[in-house]
Structure 1
Amino acid sequence: MATTEMKKPQTPGEGERKQRSVRVVLLALMIAMLLAMLDNMIIGTAMPTIVGELGGLEHLSWVVTAYTLATAASTPIWGKLGDMFGRKGVFLISIVIFLIGSALSGMAQDMGQLIGFRTVQGLGAGGLMVGVMAIIGDLIPPRERGRYQGMMAGVMAFAMIGGPLVGGTITDHWGWRWSFYINLPLGVVALAMVTAVLHLPKKRRATGTRIDFLGAGLLTVGITAIVLVTTWGGTEYAWSSATIVGLSVAGVAALAVFLYVETRASDPIMPLHIFRSRNFTLMSLIGFITGFVMFGAVLYLPIFQQSVQGASATNSGLLLLPMLLSMMVVSLLVGRFTTSTGKYKAFPVVGGALMVIGLFLLAQMDTGTSRLVSGVDMALLGAGMGFLMQITMLVAQNSVEMKDMGVASSSTTLFRTLGSSFGVAIMGTLFTARVQDEMAARGGSALTERTAQLDAASLAKLPEALREAYQHAVAAGTHSAFLVGSAVAVLGFVLAFFVKEVALRGAGPAAGERKPAEPEGTGGGAAKVAETV
């Protein structure tokens, strides 16, 4: 599989065969990515049925929290293992672990077992996401990578739209256990395709290299504490409670010690030198902000549409269609433009501006806002995210050496995951507090215990005065949440101006085009790796 610097010119037939091979590999990678993204969307609609059969309502949140924690904590470790031992084998192991977790979850006999098996599933999911991104980084030069962005955006849109529909259909007709079993045939297909078609240069572990167990442990503790704070704060426990304060202190302390340990480790789990690249650091921060905005919007837009605009909860994924479609279309167009020109600096700036505008307009929604107006506002927000979603990963990967592709991909993914946790927590706290205050002021304090849980069907049963009070309260809560989201997005817009346009590795589409200079000490490894497929 090794390649040399001098090659005979490819015949048209050879080039076409290699292109087909790349497409087959990408199909397998997209299936694996779909597994990780679709899972939580499907399980969400099955949860009431699961609780009805297994009981354990008091532990319900842990079914999601255990999966999220395991995914976030394992992501950096999977990335480093791929860099050390080879991308393909580590990726295949992550698929197997995910499938084992899925099968065991489907066989769970009580809530405790389900939570434990979901943890196993989450460990595998962490490797799926970073594995897909890192393999694409190895396989396709950044200059050529843009043309495939639409595929990744499409998978994300399908997961968010189709997840609740698929989950509801499976639960109603086959039972909730098939919400987990459905992963098995898809996973086996991905496993077989990756095994048969993906060929990457084998990596040999350098003599004397040791796994940074101490760094991995400290990072896991820090990430776990942060995710628990953002998950529990303001819901399970008050923000000022001993539990939340203790977790915050433990998380900050663990991460501080982690940074010190990484400066001393011979082969750190997260090499800090990657953050010396201005572009990499900026893209990590912009990715954090994009995750903050996106997952906050995904959670609270359907609540507004169901509670205020009277939309049905049955097809909840379809409520986000304007945002997700615009995100997918813009991402596809941006990718094609990047491939043809190699230019990308304007996209983070334009994307940041559109996110700010979209969020500010969404913050102005009230009880009289029509679905058409809210749909246009959502489309603006989606377009902003479309300019950013894949560009952040593309530029981050282009800013590091090929040997650090795994940790670069996992670090960027981790920042986006942490951003989503903070976004849901902060926007959720503001939303809930504002709704409760408005309900108390309008004499509807009896509803404040579960204010954010009323759908259109439940609201229809309330007295008119109480229903109107609740709708005004939800509109006020939405205003607060999205106003803060727009303020956070302003920071992303400002950071985008500092991105430096560094030539993307790999040849452009034009024949005979001069190869751009290699950025920031990197080699042209991605172009060479692509030849081995």
Structure 2
Amino acid sequence: MTKTQTLIGFAVCIATILLAVLDMNIVSAATVPIARDLDPAHGVDKIPWLISTFALASAAALPLYGKLCDSLGAKKVFVGAVATFLLGSTLCGAAQSMTELIAARALQGLGGGGLMSVTMVVLAQLKGPDGKGGNKGSGIGGIVAGTGMAVGPWVGGTLADHANWRWIFYINLPLGITALVAAILVLKLPVSPVRHRIDYLGAALAAAFTSSLLLLTSWGGQQYAWGSPQILGLAAACVVCLALFLHRQRTAAEPVLPLSMFKVPQLRYGFAIQGLLGAAMMGALVYVMVYLQAVRGLAPAAAGLYLIPMALGMTAVGLAAGRLTARGQSVKSSVVIGTVTSTVALALLATLDAGTSLWLIRAGLLLMGCGFGLLMGQLIPYVQNAAPAHQLGVATTSIRFFQTLGNALGAAVFGTLLSRVYEANVPGGSTSAIAHLTGAAHDRAVHGFVTAMDVVFLVAAAVMAVAAVLAARLPAETGPAAYEPIQERELVAA
């Protein structure tokens, strides 16, 4: 590829990352208007499904995406993922019920998972304009992803307030089609000369495991009792699918998630930290928006503006961390400081009540942005450097798999936790009915809701505290040269 083609390729990758992350988070600020429009009676109760379905579909497809990239080449898989995402976006905009919208979000998530993960593979294969390879691009992609997570709710709220929530999905089409055409015409990426076998059975078992796990965490104790046949059946299916998947990965000629990767400490801890980060970020972003709208009465666009401090902190600190890492600072120090800072920020949000100063909320979100900024864009290049060259696609999509699985489980678990704590404080109440209550009943419902929100943020802080403990165990390596012996051993073993 020429220098101009490479620059266009980078621009296409950044655009698709932004599309995927915006669409994962753009819905969070507009969930209340969407739910009230499509299902006024029970729509708010379905919000966790609206959020988690996208993440679930992405997680289910990610293991297969990695193997397809290593087998067919990243360009073909990238083009297919973008096309699937655009089709899902079109169907989301045309949905006439919450059920239709949730189903369309699943299709959109199948493509969206490829947009994030396969794009990182493309970035790693592109040579940058300075000739230093793809890690710099992956780091920039991580910062763009983090910024999109914070800006997405504001964009969604603005469209919901001043246009129509359907434009949240239709707005993807012009940028997505442009990126699709540019990718077809410009990208020239390597294709493995070796014909690989695709482990479709392993990918199906991974999808079955993630689906049953999400249903278990979403329905358990809420839609069905924990001891009900439905929940016990899901728990059994979850255990069986996981056991079959692990067996398949041990015996398959070319597994979709090689278990040998977990022998490398950089990969093992990187996967775990990224998964915990995904769960905590999803809980923070979604439920800050819900608090600002349901408790403080802000319009979606106004609520989205509160995430600007988070976006500024994430971008500024993330770029600074990237430069320091390029100059030799250990990735470990950035990840440790980032996890600790994020834990403190989430613990601060766990003190919210109905009259908390809005400036204190902004300060908490700024601090959270600084913490997440030290994490976004650091772990993906870190894992890519540690991975054997022939497993670049699998390693990249694996870390995205764990983050996306964390997103899905975070949305489901935090949604269930919120409903359970709220019902314990307001017996017989529903979060969907808060907006229609008045007087003492409204005050009691708001107090119960805020109490439930505080529990959600406290649990999210505990999740990040676990990530901080794992970060302290990361090997303090600083560059690709540090991983060469590991790569050689893995290649000889292969």
Give TM-score scaled by structure 1 length: 0.81
CA deviation after TM superposition for structure 1 residue 50, in Å: 6.2
AA matched with 1:485: A
Alignment CA distance shift 1:149-1:337 (3 Å) = farther
1:68-467 matches, within 5 Å, as 68-106=55-93, 116-139=103-126, 140-142=133-135, 145-146=138-139, 149-171=142-164, 176=166, 178-206=167-195, 209-341=196-328, 343-439=330-426, 445=427, 448-451=428-431, 454=434, 458=435, 462-463=438-439, 465-467=440-442
Three-state SS of the structure 1 residue aligned to 2:476 is coil
Cα distance in 1 for partners of 2:98, 2:290 equals: 27
Root mean square deviation, CA, Å: 3.1
- Aligned match of 1:33: 17
CA deviation after TM superposition for structure 1 residue 327, in Å: 1.9
Q: Identity percentage over the alignment?
A: 33
Cα distance in 2 for partners of 1:410, 1:358 equals: 29
Q: Which runs of 5+ in 1 are unaligned?
A: 2-16, 440-444, 506-514, 524-533
Cα distance in 2 for partners of 1:31, 1:316 equals: 25
CA deviation after TM superposition for structure 1 residue 225, in Å: 0.9
Q: Which runs of 5+ in 2 are unaligned?
A: 127-132, 490-494
Structure with max Cα Rg? 1
Cα distance in 2 for partners of 1:345, 1:412 equals: 17
AA matched with 2:251: R
Indicate yes or no: 2:473 matched with 1:498. yes
Cα distance in 1 for partners of 2:392, 2:119 equals: 12
Three-state SS of the structure 1 residue aligned to 2:484 is coil
Cα distance in 2 for partners of 1:110, 1:517 equals: 51
Alignment length (residue pairs)? 479
- Tell me if the contact between 2:35 and 2:98 (Cα under 8 Å) persists in the aligned partners: no
Q: 1:479 aligns with which of 437, 444, 454?
A: 454
- Aligned match of 1:512: none
CA deviation after TM superposition for structure 1 residue 294, in Å: 0.8
Cα distance in 1 for partners of 2:296, 2:43 equals: 33
CA deviation after TM superposition for structure 1 residue 218, in Å: 1.2
Three-state SS of the structure 2 residue aligned to 1:269 is coil
Give TM-score scaled by structure 2 length: 0.87
Alignment CA distance shift 1:499-1:42 (3 Å) = closer
Cα distance in 1 for partners of 2:99, 2:464 equals: 39
Alignment CA distance shift 1:47-1:238 (3 Å) = farther
Cα distance in 2 for partners of 1:335, 1:258 equals: 36
- Tell me if the contact between 1:294 and 1:420 (Cα under 8 Å) persists in the aligned partners: yes
Three-state SS of the structure 2 residue aligned to 1:521 is helix
- Tell me if the contact between 1:76 and 1:414 (Cα under 8 Å) persists in the aligned partners: yes
Alignment CA distance shift 1:357-1:112 (3 Å) = closer
CA deviation after TM superposition for structure 1 residue 413, in Å: 1.1
Alignment CA distance shift 1:205-1:183 (3 Å) = farther
- Tell me if the contact between 1:230 and 1:425 (Cα under 8 Å) persists in the aligned partners: yes
CA offsets 1:379-437 (integer angstroms, 9 cap, x no match): 22222111112212121212101221111121111111222233233333333333333
Q: 2:484 aligns with which of 502, 513, 518?
A: 518
CA deviation after TM superposition for structure 1 residue 193, in Å: 1.9
